[in-house]
Structure 1
């Protein structure tokens, strides 16, 4: 008797890598000449990163430094959701960057629609902030993974628990 095979589609951020990237970016801010006597900082608060700098130009440089460190640590930039630049105390500007964890309901529906439109014989169901795909044939499941890797849903997808 062949049992159904399945895998889960998730969108998670590796938080230790984010922490390491932020620490590297902070060190670079301390060492760079163009940030001497600057009020620039990068802080991590649970699921968001707070960027502070003297003006918009320096804030964009801080963003570039952070993004380069995140990419080097293997963290996808699709997991970042940038907020508006706001004035902060002491003539500085502040920007919040949320780390997107999990697949939102609307994105889940887009992923499931793409799977159903492909006519591959699998079933997909939303389970909280992840999607479970199951089918009788493992080749069909691998075809779904290949299909989803080609598509762009605006979020980073990982495929786990392949059974």
Structure 2
């Protein structure tokens, strides 16, 4: 019976490359000359630090552009709050991986409401979809790609 898995993963190697690329751009920008600003990557957290609030927004935009160039979905970035330490403002961004239980339930509900001839089941941090025909599975993929979920989805492990 054909099946596939719905997952939400990001390639950490590409994230590292995107952060490095944004850091290089930071060094080349004239509006950041003589400004204490940095982009750091720690495991699953990206920290933007600068002297002013508007500079943080510029750093975030540079990071999003670097993510886009590397084909990393920017919906994987989750705002984790701001902090001030001394003269620096820091913004913490968390990288989301895996599908949380409430999101997985929402995906299963969407598939059931679409009345497709497939079954969806939650398996840890992914959702497995099975059906009798490959065309039904492709309809489910198309429906999920067109949905307005605030989560980057990948479809892998397609078995016939």
Measured against the shorter chain, the TM-score band is: over 0.9
Aligned residue for 1:162, secondary structure, equals strand
Matched, 1:128 2:138: no
- Consecutive unaligned residues in structure 1, runs of 5 or more: none
Paired with 2:84 and 2:109, the residues of 1 have a C-alpha distance of: 41
Q: Aligned pairs, how many?
A: 159
Q: 1:112 aligns with which of 108, 112, 115?
A: 108
Which is worse superposed, 79-88 or 63-72? 79-88
Q: 2:66 aligns with which of 39, 44, 69?
A: 69
Q: TM-score, normalised by structure 2?
A: 0.96
Aligned to 2:88: 92
- Consecutive unaligned residues in structure 2, runs of 5 or more: none
Q: Tell me if the contact between 1:110 and 1:153 (Cα under 8 Å) persists in the aligned partners.
A: no
Aligned to 1:157: 153
Paired with 1:16 and 1:87, the residues of 2 have a C-alpha distance of: 29
Runs of 4+ in 1 over 3 A off after TM superposition: none
Q: Tell me the CA shift for residue 153 of structure 1.
A: 1.1
Q: 1:137 aligns with which of 113, 130, 133?
A: 133
